[in-house]
Structure 1
């Protein structure tokens, strides 16, 4: 049936995963018994996409929980990022939970405001707001050996600090919650507006402004084509080139007729979403595997990757048209998918405009009225936009998490930029501490964060079920399990495009280790997280 619906052979190991996606098999963990709130409570940090997912599943299971949220509303990334053009780079219908499919998306690739409304609706429907403490930030969490609980220090918006306690902590802060502000000499001296894309102000006026955009990643690629019509001039300061792929539906709206089909025809939306998952999940995985015998490693890593390079190169040249002077500045010198592939929303055609300048020199200094590049060239601008990404390598920043031994997670266990975890979820010495979208869980070959989030939340729920069923005070991964997993992980990553010589990306730390990306196919990661394996954990009984 799956093969017929997807119009191709489906390997047998995908059967159960696809059945879950379709809703034929439940992804929920059925709890046999749940202790009362007086005996067990979970603290969730963050109410973005992953925090909402965790909260929904905890509430459905009857487990007492509290969510700590630093902002004044839910939404996380989709609350904070409101710059012009912000949106998803995976299909909308795929960027919705398998248990909360959305037939009302108005665009095939939703804009940020619509994603926020989807998450807000979920929070309202599941009555989550009463569980959330808004305007509150987690400063520190200490594991108390004597009680088997976490003591969590929090600070409210008015500066008041206090400590709350929980049996388990789920970090749902993700990787894109702290903007990376570059250290540029003189940046504070600029007299005009300076803002990171994640800190865009709603009353920002770009009309008739000379705008300097620093960075050419995902946010810049979405922003620039959406401000160029009103701006006087846009100057783009590029550190590295990006591969961007075309998609015919990227700018398209979903017609009312199609939305009616999703709403009225049984299972149509489920099958449509399943096909999107099939097309956008593991198809590219083979193209990111290094062929050690490939004769052209300077440009690609295997025959499939080379075909993609040829296609994308020709696409970029076609988009640039007669602007051959831009070809070298726009075509990357690293293999396709060495960085997360972006979707072209008119970026290359925008580069061809007379009122757009692509500057490929590094930014050396900012003055009161402009930007100076490494060659000494000065560029007057009226406002500066920092499209410089996030502190992805500084996971859980700036929280201070201290485990059983008193060691700090970010400092003594991980160092500043070398986060590791078993399955990206748990770490030895930090009992009952679970991470959603932790180290090496970002599927850089495609797909959606929705899926890894659902896999991880299911795994956490299974861990809690095991604790309840066996009257356990704590669970933490065995060091041998943790070490073996990370050795296997690093070996797999060494065979991926992200380890290609010369690659510089936020995926890698200062030592060159890949910290963000996952080497696994979705089906492989699903198989690793579908069950909680007690043998992988050291468990401590309450009695």
Structure 2
């Protein structure tokens, strides 16, 4: 991204300091925009990689791809980086590109409203402050608000209760009787690490998952030195990983033909991993009845072996209530526990909640989305001028790295900022542009494994409308966002 001077000063607000917010701030600074404010409600930057500190927290996309293309890290310690190293990488990026002075930590944006008279966004913070900005970008992510079940009797439970994304490190699990509710991406990482210490560990399986072995390994020092001295080696590694996702896994999720061709090999890989579970009946209960990829295919080499431990049980009956000393399932069985850990994921449809965003006609964003979240290219919503989302509706990837998608969005928003700086007062995406994009996206999603694979997932809303996933390749999204088409917008000079 070349360094350029902005023709006029533009005040830009970014809400969130994870991969999205930090990456956008870097892109804007390199384009010559310096009046940036990054609002962060927590006391540290990092987003999801600040919050998820549970044992074993790690990325399920390879490190070389799960990082900014403009800021490679030659010394990743392993192929799939763990949470402390990823958070350290984000801190490094913030320091290198001078973002600390732009970040307001401990400052939650509660409301943001567009003032048509001034053409600016009025940003209200929890401390009562009001700040005026020309451009507003929410970079809150799809996985920032933990989903916690509402169960009868929970208030009466005498033990400890916490979500995996809000891990209670002060609570000692040694000798504890632990209930883990959920068996998704976080549970398969922390269960193997807490199982040896717990007296008893009961996993309440909500739905079985396709799980393949994780091809993880530690990178030796000579590889770090080679990456530094010959940067092309790391770039080729990144390209190879990218092509694997683009040419092999993505077609198996989106294309009906790809699903037919690649479903059998994926099943075989996952069934091979499942053979490490000794109990034949348990293997049957762990085998999904839906197509591979309908939910994200998980990777772990130690989750299945952990289920062989004598102190670990898997229960696949729904929880009816929580009692003072345990959990009762729908069949009447009572399971005595003193600790409940929610591994129940996130409220993925709450793209900006609990923040309130109000557009030019007094319409609140969640009201505009009452029939489902929609945004042109996942970025812009009609009636909300000079406003963009990052990692918005229909920009999640079922296979690959979200960082690649974010860099496409960064380039697009930088173009928008240049338009505003060049004399455009307001830019408001046209309704017909959104309708065309959304109709095409939903048509392509209708034949994808996420819509047709026979499962319920966080990709689908209550009406089974896919509001989260991008219906194509990462390359396709890069192509669609490479050039901002001014004809898609109402421009007011």
Q: Which TM class, normalised by the smaller chain length?
A: over 0.9
> Corresponding residue for 2:6?
33
Q: How does 1:59-458 map to 2 (within 5 A)?
A: 59-63=29-33, 64-155=35-126, 160-249=127-216, 252-289=217-254, 291=256, 301-316=259-274, 318-320=275-277, 322-410=278-366, 412-415=367-370, 418-444=372-398, 446-458=399-411
Tell me, yes or no, if the aligned pair for 1:282 and 1:522 is still in contact at 8 Å.
no
Q: How does 1:498-517 map to 2 (within 5 A)?
A: 498-500=450-452, 502-517=454-469
Specify the SS of the correspondent of 2:283. helix
Show CA shifts across 1:279-321 (max 9, x none). 2344212212464xx9xxxxx95232233223422432x222x
- Judging changes above 3 Å, is the alpha-carbon distance between structure 1 residues 29 and 264 closer, same or farther for their aligned structure 2 residues? closer
4+ aligned runs moved over 3 Å, structure 1: 29-34
**How many residues are aligned here?**
492
User: RMSD of the alignment, in Å?
Assistant: 1.6
C-alpha distance in structure 1 between counterparts of 2:389 and 2:254, whole Å: 27
Q: Which runs of 5+ in 1 are unaligned?
A: 1-27, 295-299
Specify the SS of the correspondent of 1:284. helix
Show CA shifts across 1:79-128 (max 9, x none). 11101010100111111100110012111111101100110111111121
Report the TM-score, using the length of structure 2 for normalisation.
0.97
C-alpha distance in structure 1 between counterparts of 2:86 and 2:169, whole Å: 17
Show CA shifts across 1:463-490 (max 9, x none). 1122323x10111211111101000000
C-alpha distance in structure 2 between counterparts of 1:451 and 1:346, whole Å: 29
C-alpha distance in structure 2 between counterparts of 1:90 and 1:100, whole Å: 17
C-alpha distance in structure 1 between counterparts of 2:460 and 2:115, whole Å: 33
Tell me, yes or no, if the aligned pair for 1:190 and 1:370 is still in contact at 8 Å.
yes
- Residue of structure 2 aligned with 1:465, choices 418, 433, 442: 418
- The answer to whether 1:487 aligns with 2:452 is no
- Judging changes above 3 Å, is the alpha-carbon distance between structure 1 residues 439 and 390 closer, same or farther for their aligned structure 2 residues? same
C-alpha distance in structure 1 between counterparts of 2:346 and 2:435, whole Å: 28
Moved more, 255-264 or 115-124: 255-264
C-alpha distance in structure 1 between counterparts of 2:360 and 2:434, whole Å: 16
Report the TM-score, using the length of structure 1 for normalisation.
0.88
Q: Which runs of 5+ in 2 are unaligned?
A: none
Deviation at 1:462, TM superposition (A): 1.0
C-alpha distance in structure 2 between counterparts of 1:397 and 1:345, whole Å: 35
Tell me, yes or no, if the aligned pair for 2:5 and 2:32 is still in contact at 8 Å.
no
Specify the SS of the correspondent of 2:201. strand
Show CA shifts across 1:187-239 (max 9, x none). 12111110000111232311111110000110111110111111112100011
> Corresponding residue for 2:13?
43
